[in-house]
Amino acid sequence: MSLNFEFTPEQKMLEDSIWRWASTWLEPQMEKLYEEDQMPAELFRELGKLGVNGIAYEEKYGGAGLGYVETLLVYETIGRVSNALGMTVGASQTLCFDNFRRNASEVQKSEILPKACSGQYIGCLGITEPNAGSDAMGMTTKAVKRGDHYIINGSKTFITNAPVGDFMLFYAKTDPERGPHGISAFFILIKDVKGFSCEKIKKWGMRTSPTGLVTFEDMEVPEENLIGGLNRGVAILTSGLCTERITLSGCSLGSQRACLELSLKYAKERVQFGKPIASFQMIQEKLANMYTRYASSKWMAYSAASYCDSLDHKTGGKGTDLDRMAAASLLHCGEMGTQSALDAVQIHGGYGYCQEYAISRHYLDQKLWDIGAGTSEIRRTIIARELLRDEFRSGR
Ligand SMILES: Cc1cc2nc3c(=O)[nH]c(=O)nc-3n(C[C@H](O)[C@H](O)[C@H](O)COP(=O)(O)OP(=O)(O)OC[C@H]3O[C@@H](n4cnc5c(N)ncnc54)[C@H](O)[C@@H]3O)c2cc1C
């Protein structure tokens, strides 16, 4: 067993190039964009130039042919500047297009994925509905077969990137009588369908990451846009949630790292009572706690990503060790991140409460990770379910 927590030289180069881009291109725009709640228009094209839109996709589609460790590393590095944009990138590249890559036909992948990698297409994933959040299987969006088309009616809410999206992967009931076993996965190119509408949702955090309420009204979708097989949506959905929880842990992780780094710098510079505030033990306690939370979060997220990369199909889902590890990773990163963002604001005093300081954005964004991709309560439910499985042996 190797417990060496070092990245390879290639991974370090990847981190350095993303950090250079995020700290020089993204950071200077963030205060204004956050106030206006605008995603940088060129975000995905920029990432396309850097070659990181399809980190885990095969090179034949324009991807980098790497794994989920590298995906996590990229989202962590973007998250050091913007938790929200880390999420937006993850929603497109992992939740939407990576899930599509793992389930669509060769022809469909060759058509769509190169455009995702170049940044021409932005993707979004639709699971949540106004009345079906944690109880995702209770979704009521219906797809009814008519000739060689499906007619879709229903709505999806809180959909990251929907207001700016070109492509959507979503789930609908194709056999409502069968409950979770009557769910199928579909995709659409938004400009090609009629009966799709989207309303932007105003949020107090995660600003710059566009969120929408989507309505499908008699939306006609060709039958070949059904992916993974009729009524096979649950396996796609739950395995997708595994890689989603692991890689999106990176957004919280990057933000935790930024909170620690910015707080260390500020605590050394800010003088009160004739001394840097870093000399006060109550400030040191917060810094020590922030470091410990970051170090433990990093271990949980990267060990889950590395385990995922070691699996034959790099996939999990209900009844797998990866399901437990993925839920635990995001649970820990989210809760530790929320605490550290609070501590970081406190260390910055009144300045931490001002928009000019990046800490205020980390604070507002971080709370989402107790909620999005399944709430903390649902993640605990999943962890307990997998622990109580007969085959569970402690150790991983
Ligand atoms: C900014 C943002 C971006 C998002 N992006 C996407 C996206 O791209 N695609 C997508 O499909 N969804 C997205 N979501 C939706 C997100 O996944 C849901 O908000 C989340 O799953 C919770 O659902 P809910 O909000 O309906 O809360 P509810 O399910 O109504 O839960 C309310 C409260 O009850 C608790 N609760 C519910 N059931 C149980 C239980 N069995 N035991 C204990 N407690 C329980 C919850 O933990 C929570 O505290 C996003 C949400 C936000 C806020």
List, for residues 19-48, the tens digit of each pLDDT value.
Answer: 999 999 999 999 999 999 999 999 999 999
* Cβ(377) – ligand 1 distance below 6 Å: yes
214, 162 Cβ separation under 8 angstroms: yes
Strands (E) in 307-382, as ranges, are none
- In the chain, the amino acid numbered 8 is T
**Confidence at residue 289, expressed as pLDDT on a 0 to 100 scale:** 98
Quote the pLDDT of residue 312. Answer: 86
Q: If you average pLDDT over residues 275-282, what whole number do you get? A: 98
Q: Which residue has the least CA distance to atom 16 on ligand 1? A: 372
Q: Give SS3 for 214.
A: strand
Identify the pLDDT of residue 177: 96
Specify the ligand 1 atom closest to the Cα of 375.
47
pLDDT band at 394 (very low <50, low <70, confident <90, very high): low
**Which residue shows structure tokens 């050091």?**
80
The arithmetic mean of pLDDT across residues 269-290, rounded, is 98
Atom 21 of ligand 1, nearest CA residue? 374
Supply the pTM of this predicted model: 0.97
- The answer to whether residue 328 scores a pLDDT higher than 80 is yes
In this structure, is the dihedral angle defined by the CA atoms of residues 76, 78, 79 and 81, taken in order, positive or negative?
positive
The mean pLDDT value for 58-83 works out to: 97
Residue percentage of the chain with pLDDT more than 70: 98
Q: Look at residue 318 in the predicted model and tell me its pLDDT.
A: 85
DSSP state letter for 276: E
Q: Tens digit of pLDDT for each residue in 178-202? A: 999 999 999 999 999 999 999 999 9
Domains of the chain by start residue, with CATH = 9-122 (1.10.540.10), 124-227 (2.40.110.10), 241-387 (1.20.140.10)
Residue 375 has pLDDT above 90, yes or no: yes
CA–CA gap between residue 269 and residue 123 (Å, rounded): 42
Mean pLDDT, residues 317-336 taken together: 94
212 lines ligand 1 (CB under 6 A): no
Determine the residue of 92, 94, 158, 252 to mutate for testing ligand 1's pocket, defined as the one with the most ligand atoms within 8 A of the Cβ atom: 158
In terms of Cβ atoms closer than 10 Å to its own Cβ (0-12, 13-18, 19+), residue 13 is: exposed
Is residue 194 within 8 A of residue 217, CB to CB? The reply is no
The rounded distance, in Å, linking the Cα atoms of 295 and 252 is 12
| Max CA pair span of the chain | 79
Checking DSSP bridges between strand 167-173 and strand 123-126, what pairing results, if any? parallel
Query: Is the distance from the beta carbon of residue 134 to the nearest atom of ligand 1 less than 6 Å?
Result: yes
DSSP 306: H
- Ligand 1 atom with the smallest distance to the CA of 162 is 8
177 a catalytic residue: no
Distance in angstroms (rounded) separating the CA atoms of residues 349 and 71: 34
Ligand 1 pocket member 187 (CB < 6 A):
no
Q: Average the pLDDT over 101-125 and give the result.
A: 97
* 17 alpha carbon – ligand 1 mean position (Å): 34
Only one residue has tokens 């190119």, namely 189
274: left (phi over 0), alpha (psi -120 to 50) or beta: left
Please, which pLDDT band fits residue 363 given cuts at 50, 70 and 90? very high
Distance 343 CA to ligand 1 centre (A): 25
- 211 CB less than 6 Å from ligand 1? yes
215-251: per-residue pLDDT in tens? 999 999 999 999 999 999 999 999 899 999 999 999 9
Least reliable range by pLDDT among 2-11, 21-30, 284-293, 344-353 = 2-11
* Contact predicate 169/217, CB 8 Å: no
The pLDDT value recorded for residue 317 is: 82
Tell me if 371 CB under 6 Å of ligand 1. yes
Catalytic residue (one of 129, 244, 335, 386) = 244
Q: Which of the listed residues 369, 371, 383 should we mutate to test ligand 1's pocket, taking the one with most ligand atoms within 8 A of CB?
A: 371
The response to whether residue 372 sits with its C-beta less than 6 Å from ligand 1 reads yes
Q: Is the pLDDT of residue 1 over 70?
A: no
What's the whole-number mean pLDDT along residues 369-374? 97
